[in-house]
């Protein structure tokens, strides 16, 4: 395999059995495979928890067991690429209505990041689902289920991806460390897990980015970073703070919105005198901000007077 390939692709599970899942979700998926009943599914939860990998491997496993395994019966789209209704009316509609004379099995529509779809697009998707033939299955993926209209959610079995078994994540990371001849001991892997919770994608990216350096637990994101942001805001150093957030994102492979969330958690835990009702209200506005433009989101954070003397 090409040495330059991202490790998240190199070590992406290629079978259903290899995926890190919590026991409840694994049982649900095993029941789907055992009973040969594949419903419309909606996966939701934080980034990096295996939602897309799971649905791809679940479909492959289902096809292998009951039908002919073929990519011709699968379409995989990202709703954030073109948020308009054109996705619904064109690509998906053409796919579900097309005839395949050689592969007559079930057809699967995988739609990522549906929480970025407009209300009109979600409405159109609901009508398309209701008018689809019995051999069409829809599999939606999102981070925030609160952004999915209730009328659309009602068409699906909704499955939450959140806390994954820590021992399984540890084994997964240890396997990567051994395969790449890295010297990641038990303590370092545990600290990486604590830093990224169940975001396996960020864990893998962090390990790859730091493969040629000696990773020390105290060098991984710590409370001093959040204290630095806090002090910058007290000094009204908005430009410096914005650059600092970008630097943290690059150094630790953290999503910038995730950085803000971790910072808020730090304030709530360690500075209760700041975390008043006004603060919590502003935090809620930022965390659930609809903007897909992270620069705009950070500006909103910096200029919302989130910290005041």
* More confidently predicted of 177 and 223: 177
* More confidently predicted of 169 and 292: 169
The yes-or-no verdict on residue 195 having pLDDT over 90 is no
The yes-or-no verdict on residue 57 having pLDDT over 60 is yes
- What is the dihedral sign for C-alpha 168, 170, 173, 174? negative
Q: What is the mean pLDDT of the chain?
A: 84
Asked if residue 174 lies in contact with residue 181, where contact means CB atoms within 8 angstroms, the answer is no
Q: What angle, 0 to 180 degrees and rounded to 10, lies between the N-to-C axes of helices 256-270 and 277-287? A: 160
- Nearest Cα to 197, choosing from 262, 118, 126? 262
The yes-or-no verdict on residue 309 having pLDDT over 50 is no
CA dihedral 108, 111, 114, 119 (to 10 degrees): -60
The yes-or-no verdict on residue 149 having pLDDT over 70 is yes
Asked if residue 256 lies in contact with residue 293, where contact means CB atoms within 8 angstroms, the answer is no
- Nearest Cα to 121, choosing from 164, 91, 96, 161? 91
What mean pLDDT comes out for the span 267-279?
A: 79
pLDDT over 90, % of the chain: 39
In CATH, what number does 21-160 get?
Answer: 3.40.50.300
Give the per-residue pLDDT at 84. 59
What mean pLDDT comes out for the span 179-195?
A: 90
Instruction: Tell me the range of 56-60, 79-83, 215-219 where mean pLDDT is highest.
Output: 56-60
Domain ranges for the chain? 21-160, 166-219, 223-302
* More confidently predicted of 269 and 292: 269
pTM above 0.75, yes or no: yes
The yes-or-no verdict on residue 261 having pLDDT over 80 is no
Cα 161 to Cα 144: distance, rounded to the nearest angstrom: 11
Give the per-residue pLDDT at 96. 83
Confidence of residue 169 (pLDDT cuts 50, 70, 90): very high
pLDDT (tens digit per residue) in 20-31 = 999 999 999 999
pLDDT (tens digit per residue) in 62-110 = 999 987 777 889 999 988 765 556 767 788 888 888 776 556 789 999 9
Give the per-residue pLDDT at 289. 57
Give the per-residue pLDDT at 156. 97
């Amino acid at each position: 395999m090409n040495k330059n390939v991202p490790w998240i692709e190199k070590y992406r599970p290629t079978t259903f059995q290899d995926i890190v899942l919590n026991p409840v979700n694994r049982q649900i998926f095993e029941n789907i495979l055992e009973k040969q009943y594949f419903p419309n599914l909606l996966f939701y939860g934080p980034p990096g928890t295996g939602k897309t990998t799971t649905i791809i491997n679940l479909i492959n496993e289902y096809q292998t067991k009951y039908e002919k395994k073929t990519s011709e019966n699968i379409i995989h789209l990202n709703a954030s690429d073109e948020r308009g209704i054109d996705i619904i009316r064109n690509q998906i509609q053409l796919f579900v209505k097309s005839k395949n004379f050689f592969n007559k099995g079930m057809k699967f529509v995988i739609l990522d990041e549906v929480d970025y779809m407009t209300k009109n697009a979600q409405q159109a998707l609901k009508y398309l689902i209701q008018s689809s033939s019995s051999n069409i299955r829809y599999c939606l993926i999102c981070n925030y289920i609160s952004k999915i209209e209730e009328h659309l959610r009602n068409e699906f079995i909704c499955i939450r991806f959140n806390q994954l078994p820590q021992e399984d994540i540890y084994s997964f990371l240890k396997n990567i460390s051994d395969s790449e001849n890295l010297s990641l001991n038990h303590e370092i892997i545990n600290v990486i897990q604590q830093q990224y919770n169940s975001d396996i994608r960020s864990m893998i990216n962090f390990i790859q980015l730091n493969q040629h350096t000696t990773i020390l637990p105290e060098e991984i994101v710590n409370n001093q970073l959040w204290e630095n942001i806090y002090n910058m805001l007290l000094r009204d150093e908005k430009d410096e703070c914005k650059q600092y957030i970008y630097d943290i994102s690059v150094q630790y492979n953290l999503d910038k919105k995730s950085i803000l969330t971790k910072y808020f958690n730090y304030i709530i835990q360690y500075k209760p005198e700041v975390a008043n009702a006004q603060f919590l209200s502003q935090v809620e506005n930022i965390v659930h901000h609809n903007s897909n433009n992270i620069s705009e989101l950070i500006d909103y954070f910096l200029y919302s007077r989130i910290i005041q003397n």
